[in-house]
Structure 1
Amino acid sequence: MSEDFYDVLGVSRDASEEEIKKAYRKKAAEHHPDVSDDDDAEERFKKIQKAKEVLTTRISAAQYDQLVIPLHRGDKRGGDGRGGSGGARSLRGSAARAGAGGFETSSTVLRRRRWSRAFRGGRDDRPRQGRDLRTGLTIDLEDAFEGATKEVTLTRPTACDTCDGAGHPPDADVQTCPQCNGRGQVQQVQQTPLGRVQQTSTCPRCEGEGELYSEDCSDCGGDGVVREEATLSVEIPPGIRSGQSLRMEREGAPGENGGPNGDLLIEVDVDIGDRYERDGDDLRVSEAISFPQAVFGDTVEVETVDGTVEMDVPAGTQSGETFRLEGKGMPRLRRRGRGDLYVQVGVVIPDSLNEEQREALEAFAEAGGEDIDVGGGFFERLKSSF
């Protein structure tokens, strides 16, 4: 162990648990890799987390002083002068003596008992991160194009404020579970045709806790967790696509044994509407042009997600032809540049003509050697050609 955890957090060795947590929050905010530019920020942040876990969750400060601090002072034998393993045995003995002498608090004895159970192969008291939660969010194409701040509301489990996640009032009496003797596990031996089989399972009486309490928390019923409705603000980055997820760290279910919360994963669905089709960062749209525009060429206006642009239609354009407007598609997610907009033109044939238009088209057909059927055959052939 290369560093003194008290020095890592910058607290004295007689600091209270609340002082340790306060120092941890300050150090974590200062050295988080997303905030600090130091090359060793990530490693430093991990040491800060480790220091907080050890000093507030796994063992008490007194245990840490007895087992580890002597090593920082140069005593390689451990706290009792008989080596590291002797220190562990002495620790369990001192916990028994504390009950008779009465000089330790109940919380210290409880943490000692949990630490010794870890040595004996009992239940795992290590901090564990809570599970990740998932929810969905629907946005429109404009929000996906520009980026936006949206609110998402969900009902999620959270640590009970009344009991601080313990499941029982702070003044509840605690006793070692008589069924598992504080191990949190029970063993059963069964006789089978293959011989005696020993099975280990979670203690049904204490549910693996190793302790029994005189009363449960009135708000959470002993679970340590309640469900609450939470409304969170989430940043939508430009260019996001349907099916992609946004991660909100530490907004998931609460951890166990003092571990951190899980994360919240928000799956995004982009409603692109009826006008566009989306293919990755590219968009596709259909645009109508008239017969004279297709024949003679023209400049037409095309509406894009962020405004109207002009597009040149060359003479002789065929219905169904596609033109590419470079950089007029969707932003590339967390990259520079934009996709393209593909415009497929369709020539619109009028359902009815005035006399002047009819005469002009008849003359056009005759000039091309067409045998005109004034009753509509020419127009039917014209429509079917597109």
Structure 2
Amino acid sequence: MAADYYETLGVERTASEEDIKRAYRKMSRKYHPDIAGPEFEEKFKEVNTAYEVLSDPDKRRMYDAGVDPNDPNGGAGGFGGYGGFGMGDIFSQFFGGAFGDAAANEPIPRAQPGRDTLESLTVDLQMVVFGGTQNLTFSTLGTCANCEGTGSEHEEPPVTCDVCHGRGFVQKVVRTMLGQMMTSAPCEHCEGHGTIIVHPCTVCHGHGRVPTSRTIGVPVPAGVDSGTRIRLAHEGEVGECGGEAGDLYVDIRVRKDERFSREGDNLHCWIQVPMSWAVLGHTIDVSTFDGDRQLEVPAGCQPEETITLDGLGVTHLQSKGERGDLVVHINVLIPTKLNDRERELIGEFAQLHDAKASTVSQNSKPAAPQKKGFFSKLKDALG
């Protein structure tokens, strides 16, 4: 056999049916392409193939006997099988289960676990700063309201199947190379459950669940970022006939904000101030997620200078209220068109302030990254 299905699911060869189901749910969630990425598609197929074999009692006995049910040549020859029947199947039936798994021929429970669900939720940056709860609406399978998940129209309990007498399987005579042998197969009348719902629900047709749209409040922790995945236990797809619901996984996406950008837990914004404010200094109001805050633009403020407002950024993830900072970038608006009086005043200012600026320092490259000063930019603008 090319693949070890037990190893693929990460279980022992003596694993019970429930162990295999739990392992399959874990592995399928881990390698699902929608969750792990498209590069895990082949691994996801391997997990499903392994579960298809190990969850079927007959296929599992064939596999344990050395015959892979998915191998077209698996039952053609060799000691492992005869005409598609593994030696384990034949010995199990001939010797009353001495060579097989006695627990394999048990009724299939009607209550089956639901699958996990993956959804995405877009939130505003303000929600990320403080945290909160945002509603998410998604389509899934929910409990049938008509029968309350029982699958029965009149709330009648299932009755014992009169074909298999509650065993969930029936014995059949098959012809093999060794002659006529007895084998077992799931009962077609009760679909292997061992019981029959006499009056199935007319809405869910006996499954106990129907397609539905749900709205749930998703708790968004402060400090999350795009790509964060939140798990909500038992909020996914409802299981059949009262089976345990799967989990809901929510991928967070943060909507672009028009006022602020985020870098780690710090917020950044850019403001434009007139030239006179930068020269003389000025007090202005800056909008933050905590309301308006006063900002002191110092006299002589240079273009691209930054002023930090402590504690007005994003709340640190998994911290006790500690937050990053708000970094305000100053952009000085230098006038490009001046009237005669304005040009005259700027000229007088230049004579007073820049009289000694007739020579420049010339180097092949700056010793360190430098920014143009305010007056350099002003001269460039005025020619």
What residue in structure 1 maps to residue 348 of structure 2? Answer: 363
In 2, the alpha carbon distance for the partners of 1:321 and 1:186 equals: 85
Note if 1:294 corresponds to 2:292: no
In 1, the alpha carbon distance for the partners of 2:107 and 2:132 equals: 46
Give the aligned length: 258
Aligned with 1:156: secondary structure? strand
Q: Give the superposition deviation at 1:251.
A: 2.5
Q: Select the residue among 143, 159, 164 that pairs with 2:143.
A: 159
| Contact 1:151-1:232 at 8 Å conserved across structures | yes
Q: Give the superposition deviation at 1:190.
A: 11
Query: Structure 2: which 5+ runs fail to align?
Result: 1-100, 178-182, 359-375
Aligned with 1:294: secondary structure? helix
Q: Select the residue among 178, 196, 213 that pairs with 1:229.
A: 213
What residue in structure 2 maps to residue 353 of structure 1? Answer: 338
Deviation sequence 1:102-150 (CA, Å, 0-9, x none) = xxxxxxxxxxxxxxx9845435549764323233333323333344443
Shift in CA distance, 324/123, structure 1 to aligned 2, threshold 3 Å: farther
Q: Give the superposition deviation at 1:306.
A: 1.2
Q: Select the residue among 344, 352, 356 that pairs with 2:329.
A: 344
| Contact 1:249-1:264 at 8 Å conserved across structures | yes
Q: Select the residue among 324, 328, 332 that pairs with 2:316.
A: 332
Note if 1:131 corresponds to 2:112: no
Q: Give the superposition deviation at 1:227.
A: 1.9
What residue in structure 2 maps to residue 217 of structure 1? Answer: 201
Q: Give the superposition deviation at 1:286.
A: 0.7
Q: Select the residue among 256, 264, 282 that pairs with 2:248.
A: 264
C-alpha RMSD of matched pairs (Å): 4.2
Q: Give the superposition deviation at 1:301.
A: 3.2
Deviation sequence 1:213-244 (CA, Å, 0-9, x none) = 45532111232211223333344444443333
Note if 1:382 corresponds to 2:380: yes
Amino acid at match of 1:359: E
Q: Give the superposition deviation at 1:329.
A: 0.6
Paired-residue identity, %: 32
Shift in CA distance, 323/177, structure 1 to aligned 2, threshold 3 Å: farther
Amino acid at match of 2:346: L
| Contact 2:274-2:333 at 8 Å conserved across structures | yes
Shift in CA distance, 187/150, structure 1 to aligned 2, threshold 3 Å: farther
TM score, norm. by length of structure 1: 0.53
Shift in CA distance, 168/128, structure 1 to aligned 2, threshold 3 Å: closer
| Contact 1:122-1:184 at 8 Å conserved across structures | yes
Amino acid at match of 2:338: L
What residue in structure 1 maps to residue 126 of structure 2? Answer: 142
Q: Give the superposition deviation at 1:257.
A: 6.6
Aligned with 1:233: secondary structure? strand
Shift in CA distance, 322/173, structure 1 to aligned 2, threshold 3 Å: closer
Deviation sequence 1:338-375 (CA, Å, 0-9, x none) = 1111122111112333443221211233342479xxxx
Note if 1:176 corresponds to 2:161: yes
Where in structure 2 are the equivalents of 1:50-199 lying within 5 Å? Answer: 119=103, 121-122=105-106, 125=109, 129-169=113-153, 170-171=155-156, 174-176=159-161, 178=163, 182-183=167-168
| Contact 1:122-1:185 at 8 Å conserved across structures | no
Greater percentage in helix: 1
What residue in structure 2 maps to residue 304 of structure 1? Answer: 288
What residue in structure 2 maps to residue 321 of structure 1? Answer: 305
Query: Structure 1: which 5+ runs fail to align?
Result: 1-116, 193-198, 372-377
Shift in CA distance, 180/134, structure 1 to aligned 2, threshold 3 Å: farther
| Contact 1:241-1:280 at 8 Å conserved across structures | no
What residue in structure 2 maps to residue 33 of structure 1? Answer: none
In 2, the alpha carbon distance for the partners of 1:379 and 1:238 equals: 41
Q: Select the residue among 254, 258, 268 that pairs with 1:274.
A: 258
| Contact 2:336-2:382 at 8 Å conserved across structures | no
In 2, the alpha carbon distance for the partners of 1:326 and 1:235 equals: 27
In 1, the alpha carbon distance for the partners of 2:145 and 2:335 equals: 71
In 2, the alpha carbon distance for the partners of 1:190 and 1:239 equals: 67
TM score, norm. by length of structure 2: 0.54
